Amino acid sequence: MQALLRVQDLNIAYRGAGRSRHHAVQNVSFEICEGEVVGLMGESGCGKTSIALALLGLLSAEQVDVSGSIQFRGEELLSKDRRALRAIRGAGISLVFQEPELALSPVMNVTDQVAEVIHAHNDWKWERCRADAESALEHVGLSDSRRIFSAYPHQLSGGQRQRVVLAQALACKPALLIADEPAASLDARSQSEILALLGKLQRELRISILLISHAPEVQATLADRLMVMANGRIVEQGPFEQLYRNPTHDCTRAMLRAAAPASVTEDMDFEMVT
């Protein structure tokens, strides 16, 4: 398998007042192969989202120092200018944020918002973009209902909004999808639906996914390989099952062990329920 993304010695430091620096990510190196799902876990504040933002060139140079190397399809992203990055964002690498409320414009109907992404990357007429947007929305489980296509984000539930964001991210068939807690705001049923959908699309389109999630169940469902972060560093990585069975680092143990059913559910017959 060929490496689609190669990150080497990535350092991310946020500038504070005066000369103070907050080192969010330190000497992080990893690779993502074509068609591979790589999970990224770690407690809040350990630098997961900083990595996601750096991969898309979304960290402002005035406030953040980024050093190291990020190669996507063999090209160095850190030296690319604004314009080149814009062509990659959405079409090469796209991102699903944790909070759909912040990712969507409140004053545009959802079909237009998805069409806008398609329009930005293709020289197509608006009508064609809209038609494509509607099929992208159908793909993520928002079925052909006029109400949803012409709805504004505030008229949809949180789960439906997250699907719109997913449709946006997948509309231009990117090679790499960064999913930052894609299912955290969904209820149990749509969560498993979205994960199943992500898995299906990933196999069909052979896209790679960097899956950021602190939920062991989510990682278990999709991740081929898992990376565990603590205090800005990757402390352990390997196949998911290997880390789950034999974690060597305390942090891995805490992140994965916390998933074990607590005493309330432990003494119940889980076989019956599942």
Partner 1 sequence: MNPGMESKIGEFEPLLRVSGLSKQYVQQRPFSRKKIAVTAFQDVSLAIFPGKTLAVVGESGAGKSSLARCIALLERSSAGAIELGGRNLLGLSGKELFAMRRQVQLIFQDPSSALNPRLTAGEIIAEPLLIQGEGTKSQQRSRAMRLMEQVGLDAAWEHKRPLEFSGGQRQRLAIARALALGPRLLILDEALSNLDAANQTLILKLLAELQAAHSLSFLHISHDLRLVSEFADEVAVMYQGRIVERKTTRKLFASPEHSYSKELLASVRSVESILLERSA
Which stretch of DSSP H or E encloses residue 87? helix 82-88
Residue-wise DSSP of 164-219: HHHHHHHTT--SEEEEESTTTTS-HHHHHHHHHHHHHHHHHHT-EEEEE-S-HHHH
Please list every residue from 235 through 254 that binds partner 1, using CB under 8 A.
240-241, 244, 254
Q: What count of other Cβ atoms lies within 10 Å of the Cβ of residue 12?
A: 22
12 contacts 64 by C-beta, under 8 angstroms: yes
Of the pair 78, 215, the CB lying nearest partner 1 is at 215
**Alpha-carbon span 219 to 202, nearest angstrom:** 14
215 in contact with partner 1 (CB under 8 A): yes
All residues at 6 or more sequence positions from 98 whose CB lies less than 8 Å from its CB, including other chains: 49, 180, 181, 184, 185
Q: Which of 78, 108, 131, 184 binds partner 1 (CB under 8 A)?
A: 184
Of the pair 77, 230, the CB lying nearest partner 1 is at 230
Of the pair 17, 61, the CB lying nearest partner 1 is at 17
Q: Which residue has the tokens 């949809």?
A: 156
Q: How far is the CB of 145 from partner 1 (least distance, A)?
A: 13
Q: How far is the CB of 37 from partner 1 (least distance, A)?
A: 11
Residues 27-56, mask of contacts with partner 1 (x by CB under 8 A): --------------xxxxx-----------
Among 5-13, 27-35, 114-122, 157-165, the segment contacting partner 1 (CB under 8 A): 157-165
Among 29-37, 65-73, 165-173, 255-263, the segment contacting partner 1 (CB under 8 A): 255-263
Among 51-59, 110-118, 130-138, 189-197, the segment contacting partner 1 (CB under 8 A): 189-197
181 in contact with partner 1 (CB under 8 A): yes
143 in contact with partner 1 (CB under 8 A): no
Q: Residue 67 corresponds to which amino acid?
A: S
109 contacts 161 by C-beta, under 8 angstroms: no
57 in contact with partner 1 (CB under 8 A): no
